[in-house]
Amino acid sequence: MQLDIQEIKKIIPHRFPFLLIDRVTDLKPNDKLVAVKNVSINEQFFVGHFPDEKVMPGVLIIEAMAQAGCIYFYYSKDLIGKNLVYYLGKVTARFFAPVVPGDQLRLEAETGKFLAKTGIVKTRALVGEKLVAEADLAFSVKEV
């Protein structure tokens, strides 16, 4: 399954400039998710991070992985149209390389451990085949 930006906006409430996923290219609930974020020189955060050596802030890489993990959790727990998913926080996170303008961030998510209303999603961020970050992220369901 694939999701375009309009379908993504139905699942997560983020909007410009904080929507950090451009497209979900592959989604198999309870198996894996692959999404992409095209990193443009026009991103607002590059104005100050850093003016002479543009680098995507690590916290925004985690946020992009969290948004991908949220969509994965939403579909894997079959919450479609019924619930909101909240990001609870990072369990672990590691960074391996910088992300710069012109990169395409490939975000991957898979099941860590799911309980009734919470879960851990294992996420990775890659540029090409190079691993730039990984994190285990916690999510919870809020019934609406």
Torsion of CA 66, 77, 72, 20, to 10 degrees: -50
Q: Which residues pair with 138 in a beta bridge?
A: 89, 120
Closest CA to 109 of 71, 59, 142, 60: 71
Measured between alpha carbons, how far is 88 from 121 in angstroms, rounded to an integer?
Answer: 11
Instruction: Tally the residues of the chain.
Output: 144
Annotation says 49 is catalytic: yes
* Residue 51 C-alpha from the chain's centroid: 25
| Residue 6 CB coordination number (10 Å) | 7
Catalytic residue among 49, 86, 111, 134: 49
Closest CA to 127 of 37, 2, 47: 37
Catalytic residue IDs: 49
